[in-house]
Structure 1
Amino acid sequence: MNMNRGLLVVTISAGVLAFLSGALYFTQIKAEGALLKPGDSKIVALGQSLYQDNCASCHGDNLEGQPDWQSQNEQGRLPAPPHDETGHTWHHTDDLLFGLTKLGIAKMAKLKNHETDMPAYEGTLTDDEIIAVLSFIKSRWPQEIRDMHDERNRITAEREKQ
């Protein structure tokens, strides 16, 4: 991939993520009690099992994602990113992660003709199961990353109250 194409992919990805953040805010896609529970061993155990059954084939058994996840593949799509601390999952609030997982990128952001390998789990997993999977993922992050993620959630919640 040449430098200009790589820059274009990064720019488009950043734009899509910014749009998704705004789409989530304006459409208010939220699950009641969607706060992740990485310290609840029962929820995390359920999430681990569901992750293995529904997510690991793309995102990896150890949350490592697919190789070259920041570069488009032959189909022009971005491979599955890691969900460990090396990826960008922890940069997004609980509500955004929940919405992306439940509705998928295209539906949540109302993007027509957007192709992605990431399925929407609405109708496959319940809201509680989605929360369990996301709780499992968060439980695997180092404490410093979990703390930064909690701070993002707190700041976002404060902004939404204003």
Structure 2
Amino acid sequence: MRDPKTARRDRRSRFEQRLRGRIPKPPGRAIDPARGQGRFADDEDDAPTPGRGGLVGGVVNRLGPKGRFLAAAVVIGALITAGDLFWERYTNQTAISADHANAAQVGLGHSLYDQHCAFCHGADLVGKPGWDGDYPDGGRPPLPLEGTAPIWRLSDRDLFDVIKFGGQPFSPPSYRNEMPAFEADLADADIWAIIAFIKSRWPEDVHTRQKEAAAEQGS
């Protein structure tokens, strides 16, 4: 297979021969073979060569300094965004606490709540009617989780344990607690995300009450 540069040189040589010997010269005008050389020289300049990076190198060379700067900025921005997304995903998958101010964790928790909790506790976290009645033997309807029920008496760790292991292990033997366990369905980080979502719906005074209750239990 012939080298492209050799082929172009051969075409240029044949073109010059035609100019010199085969094309009639107009009266009073001399034909300059150099006029045709520019045509082939341009082809050689534009053609990608191994030393110039091929197609990508040609595009980069045509961008100019400003274009290359903008392209580099776009690439760097894309890498930073990808890194942030990876870090958020990693931290959510390895979370060991609930942070109701973490938008990414709250968003994950919202999605998981809709899948696993909303059927009983309601999409708006208001629970089922009659939850505040007297149920000495158990069977209490699902409680509200948006702050009206006294779940603020439980620490985040207590909430985690109830979601993971169910309510029965933390109730008297004679009391029927129908809160199911999600240990087989949810990873620990998923449970923390659900708690973060639930607490994101609490008013500020409920957060304060939970902190005070935790302080009293710790004293």
Q: Could you tell me the TM-score, scaled by structure 2's length? A: 0.51
Larger Rg: 2
Larger fraction in helix: 2
- Other-structure match for 1:3: none
Cα displacement (A) at 1:39: 0.5
- Other-structure match for 1:147: 208
- Other-structure match for 1:7: none
Q: Is 1:39–2:101 an aligned residue pair? A: yes
Q: Distance in 1 between matches of 2:96 and 2:213?
A: 15
Alignment map for 1:46-85 (pairs within 5 Å)? 46-71=108-133, 77-85=139-147
**Equivalent pairs, count:** 125
Q: Distance in 1 between matches of 2:205 and 2:159?
A: 19
1:24-82 CA-to-partner distances (Å, cap 9, x unmatched) read xxxxxxxx974321000000000011111100111011110000112368x95100000
Query: Is the 8 Å Cα contact of residues 99 and 108 (structure 1) preserved in structure 2?
Result: no
1:103-156 CA-to-partner distances (Å, cap 9, x unmatched) read 1122345x5575333110111111111111011000100112112223333444
Q: Could you tell me the TM-score, scaled by structure 1's length? A: 0.67
Q: Distance in 2 between matches of 1:143 and 1:37?
A: 14
Deviating runs (4+, > 6 A) in structure 1? none
RMSD over equivalenced CA pairs, Å? 2.5
Gaps of 5+ in 2: 1-93
- If asked which structure has higher relative contact order (CA below 8 Å, sep 6+), I would say 1
